[in-house]
Amino acid sequence: MNSTNEIEIDVKKAERLLRKLILMEKQNLRTKQFNDAEMVKKIKKAIEEEAECY
Amino acid sequence: MLLKQLKLTNFRQFIGEQTVEFAINEEKNVTVIMGENGSGKTTLAQAFTWCLFGDTDFEDKVVFNRSFERKMLPNQEAVVRVELSLVHNGIDYTIIREQLHKKDSQGRLKGNNTTISIAYKRNGQQEFVKYLEVDPLLKQILPKELSRYFFFDGERIGNMSKEIKKGKSQDFAKAVRGLLGLNAFISALEHLKPTSKYGVIGSYNDSYDSKSDQRISQYTTEIEKAQEEVDRIDLRLDEINNEIEKAQEQADKINALLLTMAETEKLQQDKMKLVNSMGKTRQARSSAMGSILKQFNSNYSTYFAKSLVLRTLEELSQASKLDKGIPDMHARTIEFLIKRATCVCGAKIEFGNDAYKELNKALEYLPPQSIGMSINQFVVESELKIKSSNNLFESITDQYKAIRDYESELEQCTADIQLIEKQIGDTKRIGHLQQDLSRYEKIKRDRINELKEINQRKGSLQTTRDRFISERAELTLRDEKNKKIEIYKAYAQFMYDELNKVYKKNEDETRQKLERYVNEIFRSIYQGGMSITVDERYNIQVLVEDENGYSDDVETSTAQSISVIFAFISGIIKMARENGSQQDGENKLLDSEPYPLVMDAPLSAFDRRRIKSVCDALPKIAEQVIIFIKDTDGELAEEYMGAMVGKRYLFSKKNEFETYLIPR
């Protein structure tokens, strides 16, 4: 666990998210499917799903 | 990116519709397009730039075919178009740039602005990229900052050589990082960026529920305000750093010039001596001229009459009666004495006496009855004048000689001064240079002061912002909904920080690897004790190593410069190709594209041995090589690359406005 501003996060989850994020970005660079705003939404969704998952 | 086809319609001398297909086979990846000087090699290379970026390096920006223009009728319309088909990231794109031209009723041709569209295939269907997405896509396919390296022009090597060594923008470094496979990292960092209002963290900041405490939204507004100012300061900091760098560069240049000029100070002093001496010589010449004129004006009549006068005197000397007169005596004197009736000796003068008779006899020899006396006086005066003009010729000759000497001296001084000026250059610039130097040093001082001031301001803004963030966090943690947002943000922040670390590590490793590759390629092309370094902004420095292991930055020759540029761009291409073909497929983090090398007259500065080295190295390094080349170099290139050449074309020039591309 890691603490940021008194909030604890699961580092393993964060690292998983990080890898997922890079692969999402790679995929999108290739396909041009999503614009920046859509990508921000997708990343937020991925974070929320991972953070909620216990 | 691999280039498949280039289709030109009325683009400069390529009249009508003409198509070139490029070799993309892995075994035969070289396309050679050969032509004599002026046949259109550079134009074809520029067609890529025009298609991608809407501009060319030509002074004449009109790209419409002149021959076609002449045939157009008033009010007729026609387009110039370039279509570039390529594969990027596994997708087939066709980039189309066109410009509509119309001849008005008076026969003048007017061109509209160019338009660009990009077609691509998705699921077998052709679609067009949305207008707003064209530019970002082009930046990914080939950033403009890098285009001149991929579309390499061997005849404009001078500028590139300077550019590659210094003064590249942040955009250039970003473009290189992108090509080296760091694009996914860059995009992810952009999307997470905590300071961006539209990024993941920024949008979480906007989604707090302020119902629990109004101060949350106040803090958010204050944080955004502080951040906006920090962003503005960051932009200014970039500008200031660039300005300081440029001012320093200019000051260094001027200092180097002034140093050279200081060495010529002695020459400058010599010049001043010569200038002074010339002044004195001119004065001496001028007084000699004055003296000649004065002498001439006083004596010329006598001088030119001398011969005549001498002959006259000779004649007169033979006339015996001329010597009977009484000097300075006039008839009026005699008449006075007769009238007075007493002579000067006291004798009485009476009509008919002896004295009277003698005096009347004397009248025959006195003026005006006799000219004997006048002639006698003339003789005396003439002899005197002739005597005085005897030296005129010699005197004028001597003075004229002196004037000729002065003239030669002046000519010699002028030649010496010209020689000195040639050596020391334009010395008048020294004053301007000193002024410029002071100006640049002032700019530097001012900017450094500004840098300090705005850095302090930035620090204080960041402290305020962070305090508000922390105070807002205290409030948000009291509310369950907001607490969740804080958790998501903490994940995003952690990801951003980690990604930054990984990115920096990867970037550093990638740059070191690039430096290694660039050196390997450079040594394979240009043998010698030289090495290349690549700094954080991807500036290149060429170092020469001496036998003691010391190294120093050196000025490179044309062949060395081309080799450096070849090595640099080939190094990037090699790494991009490697990153693109790594085996861990979808899971790999670095990801990039293979890139072609399009070269106009690339071999013109090389000798035969280096042409062979370049021809051996390039098709192995680059996924695709396209060469526009003059016939003599082309034959060598084909000889050395032989088996790798997949497509061959020839420029067939009909006249200045009509060239055809013929497959060979």
| pLDDT given for residue B162 in this prediction | 62
> Which position has the higher pLDDT, B180 or B84?
B84
The alpha carbon of residue B253 and the mean position of all alpha carbons in its chain are separated, in whole angstroms, by 14
How far apart are the CA of B635 and the nearest CA of chain A, in angstroms? 39
Give the span between the Cα atoms of B11 and A31, in whole angstroms.
Answer: 32
Residue B562's nearest CA partner among B35, B48, B156, B45 is B156
Range B453-464 average pLDDT = 93
The angle that helices B214-263 and B429-476 make with each other, rounded to 10 degrees, is 160
Give the span between the Cα atoms of B191 and B185, in whole angstroms.
Answer: 10
Res B458 pLDDT > 90: yes
Taken in order B305, B308, B311, B312, the sign of the CA dihedral is: negative
CB B546 within 8 A of CB B529: yes
CB B565 within 8 A of CB B161: yes
Q: Where are the domains of chain B?
A: 1-142+630-664, 280-325+370-424
Range B362-390 average pLDDT = 76
Reported as a single tens digit per residue, the pLDDT across B548-589 is 555 555 555 677 777 787 788 888 888 777 766 654 544 455
Res B67 pLDDT > 60: yes
| pLDDT given for residue B440 in this prediction | 92
| pLDDT given for residue B427 in this prediction | 53
Residue of A nearest to B199 (CA): A40
| pLDDT given for residue B60 in this prediction | 82
Reported as a single tens digit per residue, the pLDDT across B245-276 is 889 888 888 888 777 766 677 787 888 899 99
CB B478 within 8 A of CB A6: no
Lowest mean pLDDT among A11-20, B71-80, B362-371, B620-629: B362-371
Would the CB atoms of A9 and B491 count as touching at under 8 Å?
yes
| pLDDT given for residue B173 in this prediction | 72
Range B514-532 average pLDDT = 82
CB B495 within 8 A of CB A18: yes
Mean confidence (pLDDT) of chain B: 83
The angle that helices B631-641 and B608-621 make with each other, rounded to 10 degrees, is 60
Chain B residues near residue A1 by CB distance under 8 angstroms: none
Give the span between the Cα atoms of B449 and B432, in whole angstroms.
Answer: 26
User: Which residue among A9, A13, A44 places its CB closest to the CB of B203?
Assistant: A44
User: Which residue among A5, A14, A37 places its CB closest to the CB of B473?
Assistant: A5
How far apart are the CA of A53 and the nearest CA of chain B, in angstroms? 12
Give the span between the Cα atoms of B433 and B251, in whole angstroms.
Answer: 9
Would the CB atoms of A5 and B204 count as touching at under 8 Å?
no
> Is B256 touching A (CB cutoff 8 A)?
no
Lowest mean pLDDT among B5-9, B411-415, B642-646: B642-646
Residue B6 confidence class, pLDDT cut points 50, 70, 90: very high
> Which position has the higher pLDDT, B600 or B493?
B493
Would the CB atoms of B200 and A43 count as touching at under 8 Å?
yes
> Is B238 touching A (CB cutoff 8 A)?
no
Give the span between the Cα atoms of B521 and B540, in whole angstroms.
Answer: 14
Reported as a single tens digit per residue, the pLDDT across B625-658 is 888 888 777 777 888 887 888 999 988 888 888 8
Q: Mutate one of B138, B200, B593 to test the A interface: name it (highest A CB count within 10 A).
A: B200
Range B503-514 average pLDDT = 85
Q: What is the DSSP string of B473-534?
A: HHHHTTSHHHHHHHHHHHHHHHHHHHHHHHHHHHHHHHHHHHHHHHHHHHHHHS-SSEEEEE
Amino acid at residue number B629: I
Q: Mutate one of A13, A17, A29, A52 to test the B interface: name it (highest B CB count within 10 A).
A: A29
User: Which residue among B187, B484, B495 places its CB closest to the CB of A17?
Assistant: B495
Q: Where are the domains of chain A?
A: 9-52
Amino acid at residue number B519: N
Residue of A nearest to B140 (CA): A29
| pLDDT given for residue B82 in this prediction | 96
Give the span between the Cα atoms of B279 and B505, in whole angstroms.
Answer: 72
Per the omega criterion (within 30 degrees of 0), is the bond before B136 cis?
no
Reported as a single tens digit per residue, the pLDDT across B97-127 is 999 999 888 888 888 889 999 999 877 788 8
Lowest mean pLDDT among B82-96, B167-181, B244-258, B308-322: B167-181
Residue B185's nearest CA partner among A24, A22, A40 is A22
Tokens 């120093």 belong to residue: B552
Residue B623's nearest CA partner among B586, B598, B590 is B598
- State the CATH class of domain B1-142+630-664: alpha beta
Q: Which two tokens stand for residue B472?
A: 């807002």
At residue B206's C-alpha, the angle toward residues B203 and B209, to 5°, is 130
Would the CB atoms of A29 and B183 count as touching at under 8 Å?
yes
Residue B242's nearest CA partner among B435, B451, B534 is B451
Reported as a single tens digit per residue, the pLDDT across A15-51 is 889 889 988 998 887 777 788 899 999 999 999 998 8
ipTM for the predicted complex: 0.93
> Is B147 touching A (CB cutoff 8 A)?
no
> Which position has the higher pLDDT, B438 or B257?
B438
Most confident of B196-210, B580-594, B603-617: B196-210
